[in-house]
Structure 1
Amino acid sequence: MGSLPFTVSDLQTSVSGVRSNPTLLCTPLMGTTVEQMLTEMRKAKEIGADIVEIRLDCLRNFSPAQDLQILIKQSPLPTLVTYRPIWEGGQYEGDENKRQDALRLAMELGASYIDVELEVAHEFNNSIYGKKPQNFKVIVSSHNFHNTPSTEAIGNLVARIQASGADIVKIATTALDITDVARVLQVTVHSQVPTIAIVMGERGLISRLLSPKFGGYLTYGALEAGAISAPGQPTAKDLLDLYNFRLIKPDTKVYGIIGKPVGHSKSPLLFNAAFKKVGLNAVYVHLLVDDVEKFFNTYSAPDFISGCSCTIPHKEVAIKCMDTIDPIAQKIGAINNIVRKPDGKLTAFNTDYIGAIEAIEDGLRESNGSSPAVGSPLAGKLFVVLGAGGAGKSLAYGAKEKGARVVVANRTFERAKDLADKVGGQALTLAEIENFHPEDGMILANTTSVGMKPKIDDTPIPKHALKHYSLVFDAIYTPKDTRLLREAKESGKIIVYGTEMLIRQGFEQYKNFTGLPAPEELFRELMSKHA
C-alpha cells in the first residue's frame, strides 16, 4: 500500500460511530496461582488499568468452580477471562469441552468479557445463545504469529469474526516491518463493530500506543516488563506515564524517533512530558524502522506522522526521502530532525551539531573561565572525531565552523577520508588513534557506538592515550557514564556527557516541531532523574 488512505475526520466519524468512551487499558494477569492473580489485580488497579485479563491457562492447578468464583468476585476491576489453548499461542493442552465449560462458567459468575478463538467461536456463541447476561461481551480473537496479511485478507478476517457472532472483534498479527501496522489500521479504523487490533513485536508497538487514535476498543499493558502476554507488549505504567495514553485522541499529532535499535531512546520521555506540561495534543513514540523510504512512503498522510527525530543508522539515508533540506544539514550530509509541513512535504534539519558543539564549548569555557563573547574556545584546537557516520559528520562540520582543525578517524579509512576532505581535515583509521598525538590539549569526540549498551566494557581508545587530550566528549548516553568518560575523568580531563548533546539538540527539535521554545528546565530535570 502507498499510504494511509484516511484522514482525521474519517477517524473521528469511525470512533464516534462505534463508541464514545476512551479506549480501555487491560492488564493481563500471568500468575500461576489464584493468590498471585489476586495480588496482580490489586496492582493493576493501583497502576490505573480499567480491566484485568484472567489468563486461566497460566494457572498451574485450576479448579474451575472454586477458582473462578474467587477470581471474578474478588477482582477490584471488571474481568476479561481468557483460557488460551496451545494451538492459539496459549498454554492449555487439555480437553476442549472442559475449556469451553470453564468459559461459560466465567460468564455465569459475572465476568464482563470472555475471549474465545475464531476457530471455535460459532460453536461457543451458539452454546450461550439466549443466556448472555446484560452488558456481557464476547471477544472473538484471531492470532497470527508469523506475519501480517494483505489489507484484503485482514478485511476478510474481520468479516469472518463479525459473522461468528462476536460482540468485539480482536485481531493480532505479527510485524515483520513497521509498515505492516498500516494495513491493520486501515481495516480496523473502518470496522463497524468494536475492534481490538494489535500488531505484535517491537515493530508493531505503535498499534498498541496509538489504539485510542484509531478507535481501538482496548489495548493491553503488562504489569511489568517481564510479564508480557504477547510479544512487544508495553507495560501499563509506560502506556499511562511515558506515552500519556489517556490523552491520545483521534486528532492527536504523532511524533516519534526512527532508528534501529530505538527502544533505548529517552526522547519519548522528554517530549511527552513537555507536550503534557504545555497542553499540546501530541504524542511522541518509538518507531523501529528498517527501511526509511518504505516508512515515509507508507505513512505519508499529513495527519499521521507530524515529525520525527532520526537516529542511527538512518541519519544519512533519510535525506533522499526529504522534500526540502536545511542548508546546514545539506552541507553536513546527515539529518536528525524531520518536520512534516501542512501540505505533507517533509523538511529536514540537523540539530546534532548545535547540541554537541555548544556542550563542548561550554565545557571548555567552564574550565578556563572564558566568556561566550570572547569567541569559540574551539578556535585553533585540534579536534579529533571518532566515527564518520551521521553524528560524526555533525561534529566534524560544527568544529570546522568554529575554527578548529579537524581529524576524522573511522573503522574504514575511505569513509574517514571522504569526511575529512569535506571539512579540510586529516583522516585516520580507528586503529591509528592510539598512537596519534601530534600535540597536547586536543579535543576528543566519540560518535561511534563503542561502549554503548550492552557492550559497556568497550572503549574506542585506551586510557593511556587520553593524556594528550584536554576534553573528552562521548555521544553515547546509554549508559551515561561510558568507560571512555570514566577513564577520561580518572585522567583529570574535562568530560562532556552524551546526555548534554541529547538535551540541547532536543531543545532545537522541540522548537522545529512545535514553533515554541523548549521547556529546558523540564528536559534537564527528566534527564538527571532517568540517566
Structure 2
Amino acid sequence: MGSLGMLENSTKICAPLMSQSIDQMVSDMYQAKAEGADMVEIRLDCIKNFQPHQDLRILLKNKPLPVLIVYRPKWEGGHYEGDEHMQLEALNLAKELGADYIELELKVASDLMEEHKLNQHGSSKLIVSCYLESATPSKEDLGYLVARMQSTGADIIKLVTNASNITEVARIFHLLSHCQMPLIAYSIGDRGLISQILAPKFGGFLVYGSIEGNLVPGLPTLDSLRYAYGVEYINPDTKVFGLVSKPVSHSKGPILHNPTFRHVGYNGLYVPMLVDDLKEFFRVYSSPDFAGFSVGIPYKEAVIGFCDEVHPLAQSIGAVNTIIRRPSNGKLIGYNTDCEASITAIEDALKVSGCTTGEAFLPSPLTGKLFVLVGAGGAGRALAFGAKIRGARVVIFDIDFDRAKSLAHAVSGEARRYEDLTNFRPEKGAILANATPVGMHPNTDRIPVAEVTLQDYKLVFDSVYTPRKTRLLKEAEAAGAIPVSGVEMFLRQAIGQFVLFTGREAPKEFMRDIVLAKF
C-alpha cells in the first residue's frame, strides 16, 4: 500500500476551549495550535462576566487559527442563562468580527428561519446543532432529524448523542457515510470514544481533541489524535482493529499498534472498544471494515463462543486474545498470542540469568520447575498451558476455587485455595506468575502473595503492565528474585498480533523502542 495510503484526509481537528477568562482563552488558542489543532471551538458561555463587544474583539483579533463560536444555553447543556435575543446579538457580532464558524441550536435556528431572521451575511459558516441527552435514536429517526436540520439552511450540521452502548455508535457511522452535506456527529462518554477517532473514515467534518491540562471526559487529547491515532491519515479504506475489553481506558495498545502500522505503511487503525455485550457487539460490527480484535479482561474465555474457528492452541487453553476476520468470507478466527509471549519472556529471563548452566540438554529452563500461578482467568490459562507444554509442574491459586480446579485438571496440575496463598512456601527455585489485576493502576500498592515468601522464588512474573514496575516486582527484586514485567509479555503478544492483523513481519525493534519510550 505504501505512501499512497498515507494521504491526508480533509477532516479537521478541533479543540474545545472552555476557560473562564479571555486571557486564558487567548493563551489556550495558541496552546491548541502548538498541539496540532486545525481550529478551536470557543465556548462563550463559559466566560465569566462576558462582555460581547470588547471580549469578542480581543478573541477574534488574536486568533492564531480558525474559530468556531458557541454560546450554548443552559437548556442545551451549556452555561448561558440569558435570553435568545442577547445570544443572537453576540453571535451576529462574532460573524461581523470575522468568526469562521458560528453555532446555533436547532430550536433557535428553526425559530429564526420562520421569522426570516437568520442573518446570512458575512463569511462565517453556520453550524446548526442538536444535543441529545438520551440514548442514540434509530437510523430512521436520525435520518428525520438530519433532514430537519438541513432545512434550516445550515452550512454544516452537528449532532451529539450520549452512547449508553458502543453498538449505538454504528448508527453515527452510518449517518456520517450517508449524509449529503458536511456533518459533525459523535457520541460522548467512554463508549462513544471511537466516534471521535473514526470520524475521518466515515467522512466527518471534524473531530474534537482536548488540550493538555484541560481534559474533557470521553475526548481524546490532541496529542493522542495526532500521535497515537494519526487521524489525519485515516480514510475510507482504513482497516479498523479494536481492543474489546471492559474496562478499556488502561490500554496501551493504540500507542504501540498505530505508529507501527504507519511505520510499515499499512492502512490500519487500532482503537479501544468498551464493550458491554459481546453478542450484540459482534452482530453490529460485522463489516469487513472491522478487520480484527484484541480481547482483554474479562472476555478472553467467553469470546470463544463468538469465533467461527479457533486455533488449536487457543482451543486447548480455552482463551482467545486475538481475532481476525477472514476477508474472503467474514468468518472470525480466534488465536492466543499470550501463551508464547508470557512463557518466552520468562524463559529468556532465566536464560539471561544463567539458569540454564549445565542444563543445556533441556528443551526449556522451565522443565521440572515448580510454577506457582495466581489467577485462572484468560491470562492465567495461557500461562498454565505454556508452563505445562514446557514441562513445569503447575500449582494454581484463584479466588474461584472451582475455576482453579478446572484449570489444574486441564494442565495436570494442582489447585489450592486462594486463602492459603499467604502461607504458601514453595520449594527453592520456583517460578511465581501473577495473572490477576492485583497491583494494577490505580490500586498499585497491593501484591497477591505474602512478602516474606518472595525470597523462595527464582523468578517472579507479573502480567500487570500499568505501572511498568509493579510493587510485586520491586519487592521480588529486593528479595533476590528475577523480576519479569508484564510489559515484556505485552510487547511479545502485540508482535504476534501484528503478524496476524497484517500478514506481514513485525518490525520488532521499532515496537520495542516504542514500548521502552512510552511505558
Q: TM-score range by the shorter chain?
A: over 0.9
Cα drift, residue 356 of structure 1 = 0.3
After the TM superposition, which residues 179-258 of structure 1 pair with which residues of structure 2 at under 5 Å, given as runs?
Answer: 179-224=167-212, 226-228=214-216, 231-258=217-244
Normalised TM-score (structure 1)? 0.93
2:319 maps to: 334
- The match for 1:289 among 254, 275, 293 is 275
1:317 maps to: 302
Deviations 1:110-149 (A, max 9, x none): 1111111111112345555464224x21111111123211
Return closer, same or farther for 1:490/1:355 CA change in 2, 3 Å cut-off: same
Contact 2:257–2:498 at 8 Å: present in 1 too? yes
1:298 maps to: 284
- The match for 1:466 among 454, 457, 460 is 454
Structure 1 position 505 matched with structure 2 position 493? yes
Deviations 1:306-333 (A, max 9, x none): 1111111010111111011100000000
Cα drift, residue 227 of structure 1 = 3.5
Return closer, same or farther for 1:401/1:74 CA change in 2, 3 Å cut-off: same
| Residue identity opposite 2:286 in structure 1 | S
Unaligned runs of 5+ in 1: 1-19
Structure 1 position 263 matched with structure 2 position 252? no
The worse-fitting range, judged by mean Cα deviation, of 80-89 and 183-192 is 183-192
- The match for 2:162 among 162, 174, 178 is 174
Normalised TM-score (structure 2)? 0.95
Deviations 1:494-524 (A, max 9, x none): 1100000000111111111111111111221
2:389 maps to: 401
2:125 maps to: 137
The whole-number CA distance in structure 2 between the counterparts of 1:368 and 1:395 is 22
SS at match of 1:454: coil
| Residue identity opposite 1:464 in structure 2 | V
The whole-number CA distance in structure 2 between the counterparts of 1:93 and 1:35 is 23
SS at match of 1:179: helix
2:341 maps to: 355
SS at match of 2:199: coil
SS at match of 1:449: coil
1:16 maps to: none
Contact 2:135–2:163 at 8 Å: present in 1 too? yes
| Residue identity opposite 1:279 in structure 2 | G
Cα drift, residue 369 of structure 1 = 5.4
Cα drift, residue 279 of structure 1 = 1.1
Report % sequence identity.
Answer: 50
2:330 maps to: 344
| Residue identity opposite 2:268 in structure 1 | A
Contact 2:173–2:199 at 8 Å: present in 1 too? no
After the TM superposition, which residues 17-96 of structure 1 pair with which residues of structure 2 at under 5 Å, given as runs?
Answer: 22-96=10-84
Return closer, same or farther for 1:373/1:527 CA change in 2, 3 Å cut-off: farther
- The match for 1:492 among 480, 489, 494 is 480
After the TM superposition, which residues 415-454 of structure 1 pair with which residues of structure 2 at under 5 Å, given as runs?
Answer: 415-454=403-442
Structure 1 position 279 matched with structure 2 position 265? yes
| Residue identity opposite 2:226 in structure 1 | L
1:383 maps to: 371
Cα drift, residue 67 of structure 1 = 0.9
Cα drift, residue 290 of structure 1 = 1.2
The whole-number CA distance in structure 2 between the counterparts of 1:217 and 1:434 is 57
The whole-number CA distance in structure 2 between the counterparts of 1:438 and 1:221 is 51
Contact 2:421–2:450 at 8 Å: present in 1 too? no
The whole-number CA distance in structure 2 between the counterparts of 1:476 and 1:511 is 23
Contact 1:225–1:234 at 8 Å: present in 2 too? no
The worse-fitting range, judged by mean Cα deviation, of 391-400 and 138-147 is 138-147
SS at match of 1:445: strand
The whole-number CA distance in structure 1 between the counterparts of 2:119 and 2:102 is 16
- The match for 2:99 among 108, 111, 135 is 111
Cα drift, residue 374 of structure 1 = 4.6
After the TM superposition, which residues 5-24 of structure 1 pair with which residues of structure 2 at under 5 Å, given as runs?
Answer: 22-24=10-12
| Residue identity opposite 1:170 in structure 2 | K
The whole-number CA distance in structure 2 between the counterparts of 1:233 and 1:438 is 47
Return closer, same or farther for 1:310/1:131 CA change in 2, 3 Å cut-off: closer
The worse-fitting range, judged by mean Cα deviation, of 499-508 and 146-155 is 146-155
Cα drift, residue 225 of structure 1 = 5.7
SS at match of 1:123: helix
Deviations 1:84-135 (A, max 9, x none): 111111111122211111011111111111111111112345555464224x
SS at match of 1:49: coil
- The match for 1:368 among 325, 329, 354 is 354
Structure 1 position 308 matched with structure 2 position 293? yes
Cα drift, residue 21 of structure 1 = 6.0
1:477 maps to: 465
Unaligned runs of 5+ in 2: 1-7
Cα drift, residue 486 of structure 1 = 0.9
| Residue identity opposite 2:111 in structure 1 | E
